[in-house]
Structure 1
Amino acid sequence: MKYSCYCSMSRRWFLRSILPGALSLGILGVTQPALAQKTAKALVLSCIDFRILEAERYFLSLNNLGNQYDLTALAGSSLALSGLPHPADAQAFWDQLELSYRLHHIQKVIILDHQDCAAFADKVSPDLSKDAELELQVHREYLSRAYWEIRERYPDLNIELYFVGLNADVKPISPLAKV
């Protein structure tokens, strides 16, 4: 009787004390340490919309960015830089850009707007996505504003603008002339 009790306590002690530590050491041994690299190739501004995440990741990997970028996600992407849907969004972007620039030495900013954006529907027009040409024009205008604001504050950064379709088509957008 005493023997079975001893074994029971022994197993319990083992499971509670040694096994978790042994497992965590095994797991830690398999994981890779964080990269020592302190630079990122870019800061990416994306919308929070879950529908475009995979298309964006795929696009960024095709453009040799892999996991070498800092990511900021704000509803409306370029719309957020104009203070919509909330003025704090613009400040959040500028804070993130400053940190990315200073700490990770980024060389460019990539802004990804997308088709059928709820933030644009809410703040610009609920029918915006019903007219593909108008939708692209409105996004081009907000992307261009963002381009010139960034260019003014960070003239040495490259800036790339894109419009992502729900079909995963990613179109480069040339900024409009500064007004």
Structure 2
Amino acid sequence: MTDTLLHSQGCACCGDLLQARYDRRRFLHVAAGAGLMAAFSPLAFAAEGNYEAMLLTCIDPRFPEPTIKYMEGRHMVGKYSQFTFAGASIGVVAPAFKTWAPAFWDNLAASIQLHNIPKVIAMNHRDCGAAKIAYGAEAAKDKATETATHKAALMEFKKQVGEKQPKLQVELHLMAIDGSVDTFS
């Protein structure tokens, strides 16, 4: 059996490369170098560590930018994990979405384990389609009713977090379309 080269041994593009000796020692040197690069890469440290919070947000495409601006204003960029699904806290507590809750609780537990978070921040938003699905159009008929609907969901969320993860602090927020935020306690 003869070795077949793509190009001749004198080829400028790959002749020397094809003649290189590949043995176990060379493999171990290359593998060790790759391992060191991976170990000292900033990405290697990103998965685990001590972070400030998990942020729960809604899937509404209007809110990622205002939410990021809000978190930037709190100097928290790069200091929190994030979980996003329809309704934010409503997606966790509303009976209409009861099959969704386990996914949130499992992800919260993972964030606690991996990121050592001391709190969870729930960021609901106004004009939320998931709120209307869960509670009907009447839940958002005016600003006061909408606020009461979100506050009730956020307070139920806080209660459930207290039952399932009693060591966590909980922040409750309601963001308007303009990015302004109301806070509940």
> What TM bracket, shorter-length normalisation?
0.7 to 0.9
Q: 1:53 aligns with which of 46, 52, 64?
A: 64
Q: Which residue of 2 aligns with 1:167?
A: 178
Larger deviation, residues 112-121 vs 77-86: 77-86
Q: Is 1:135 matched up with 2:146?
A: yes
1: distance between equivalents of 2:53 and 2:81? 6
Q: Is 1:91 matched up with 2:102?
A: yes
Q: 2:74 aligns with which of 63, 75, 91?
A: 63
Q: Which residue of 2 aligns with 1:3?
A: none
Q: Is 1:39 matched up with 2:50?
A: yes
SS in 1 for 2:42: coil
Q: Is 1:146 matched up with 2:162?
A: no
Size of the aligned set, in residue pairs, is 150
Does the 8 Å CA contact 1:79/1:85 hold for their aligned counterparts? no
Paired amino acid for 2:93: S
Q: Which residue of 1 aligns with 2:30?
A: none
Question: Could you list the per-position Cα deviations for residues 37-93 of structure 1 after superposition, in whole angstroms to 9, with x for gaps in the alignment?
Answer: 622210110001110111111111111211211100010111111255432311111
Q: Give the Å deviation of 1:128.
A: 3.4
Paired amino acid for 1:33: P
Paired amino acid for 1:65: M
Distance 1:158 1:123, change over 3 A: same
SS in 1 for 2:99: helix
Q: Which residue of 2 aligns with 1:100?
A: 111
Q: Which residue of 2 aligns with 1:80?
A: 91
Does the 8 Å CA contact 2:54/2:119 hold for their aligned counterparts? yes
SS in 1 for 2:59: coil
SS in 2 for 1:50: coil
Paired amino acid for 1:153: K
Q: Which runs of 5+ in 1 are unaligned?
A: 1-9, 15-31, 175-179
